[in-house]
Homo-oligomer: A and B are copies of this chain.
Amino acid sequence: MIETPYLLFLGDAPDPLAAKVAQGIRDWRPDNAVGQFRMEGCKADMKLPDMTLAEAKAAGAKTLVIGVANRGGIISQAWKKVLIEALEEGFDLASGLHNLLRDEPDLKAVAEATGRTLHDVRVPSVKYPIANGEKRTGKRCLAIGTDCSVGKMYTALCMDREMKARGLKSSFRATGQTGILITGEGVPLDAVIADFMAGSIEWLTPDNDADHWDMIEGQGSLFHVSYSGVTLALVHGGQPDALVLCHEPTRPHMRGLPGYKLPSLEDVMEVGLRLAKVGNPDCVVVGVSVNTQHMGDEESLAYCAEVEKRMGLPCVDPYRHGAGKLVDALIAV
């Protein structure tokens, strides 16, 4: 668990897209960020107060989160001076980069000397159990997709926010690096050892109040040949009561697989539900979440209306239209 609140390190981000992680924290957990730290030439701006390390410390920040990715995911030498100073001033560091903080001898030495923690959320820090499949109390909703990167994390976050706005019990459960940095905890599922994947998701979504919902971030797709095993571990380890189908309609082929067409929403529903019922016979599909970022307003609404009619399920772009319809369907389960 990463201590909050954060100071968001934007470094020398060459463009706003490079600061995707910081943007995610800004969008979804603004209370977790007291300010931003920008270096000369930084082209990203979270519209948070610019702070020095000392100012952030005074404002209560506990952890400096690397909210920016360089090309190649490396820890730039230009950043090192700030990171070392942050450790010395009492901040922990958190990063989702491929290049691990702990693999940098200077950062490691300073962290040890100062007693601070380096959080590399790309690798698991927990010894997960093997899944036992036992029925857990509380309710769980899992986002499953036609492809990778179609909006499963945003769907779960939108639904979690809507649940909380209604005063209902809900927890977003992160299963990827960005989600972990947004919330401060979770399972970096793509880095878990095969035998423990489903068990890590059981661990992430334990017994809870009967009226509490876990909103589980999905990963990959049952139809993506590179990552489908990760997805099935979520379907079985997550023991979902409800599935939300996620889709991005303008994609020409599966992400990273030029020869592979996307499955239909019906394919994902049939196969996903059949496999989910192995772990929870009462599982149902409650709705469809469409990522319409590449569509105009009218086209977006028309597409969702068409899916709704065709499939007989509520269908929205929850980030654009709100997650109300999906949450209505969820709490009716």
Copy count, this protein chain: 2
Most buried by B among A131, A191, A235: A131
Interface size for chain A: under 10, 10 to 19, 20 to 34, or 35 or more residues?
A: 35 or more
Does A274 touch B at the CB level, under 8 Å? yes
Measured CA separation A174–B223 after assembly (Å): 25
Which of the residues B133, B223, B232, B263 comes within 8 Å of A257, measured between beta carbons? Answer: B133
Cβ-defined contact, B229 with A236, below 8 A: yes
Cβ-defined contact, B194 with A197, below 8 A: yes
Cβ-defined contact, B278 with A225, below 8 A: yes
Q: What is the distance, in angstroms, from A133's C-beta to the closest C-beta of chain B?
A: 4
Cβ-defined contact, A228 with B191, below 8 A: no
Does A193 touch B at the CB level, under 8 Å? yes
Does A316 touch B at the CB level, under 8 Å? no
CB-CB < 8 A to A333: which residues of B?
Answer: none
Measured CA separation A67–B221 after assembly (Å): 39
Using an 8 Å CB-CB cutoff, how does the interface string of A217-240 with B read, 1 for contact, 0 for none? 000001101111111110111010
Chain B residue, CB-CB nearest to A280: B225
Cβ-defined contact, B229 with A225, below 8 A: no
Most buried by B among A226, A275, A279: A226
Does A40 touch B at the CB level, under 8 Å? no
CB-CB < 8 A to A239: which residues of B?
Answer: 225
Does A304 touch B at the CB level, under 8 Å? no
Does A296 touch B at the CB level, under 8 Å? no
CB-CB < 8 A to A189: which residues of B?
Answer: 194
Cβ-defined contact, B198 with A194, below 8 A: no
Chain B residue, CB-CB nearest to A188: B194
CB-CB < 8 A to A225: which residues of B?
Answer: 131, 133, 198, 236-237, 239, 278-279
CB-CB < 8 A to A199: which residues of B?
Answer: 226
Measured CA separation A100–B134 after assembly (Å): 31
Does A195 touch B at the CB level, under 8 Å? yes
Give 8 new A-B contacts, CB below 8 A, not counting A131-B226, A228-B233: A190-B194, A191-B194, A197-B229, A222-B275, A228-B235, A228-B236, A229-B233, A229-B236
Residues of A within 8 A of B (CB): 130-135, 189-195, 197-199, 222-223, 225-233, 235-237, 239, 256-257, 259-260, 263, 271, 274-275, 278-279
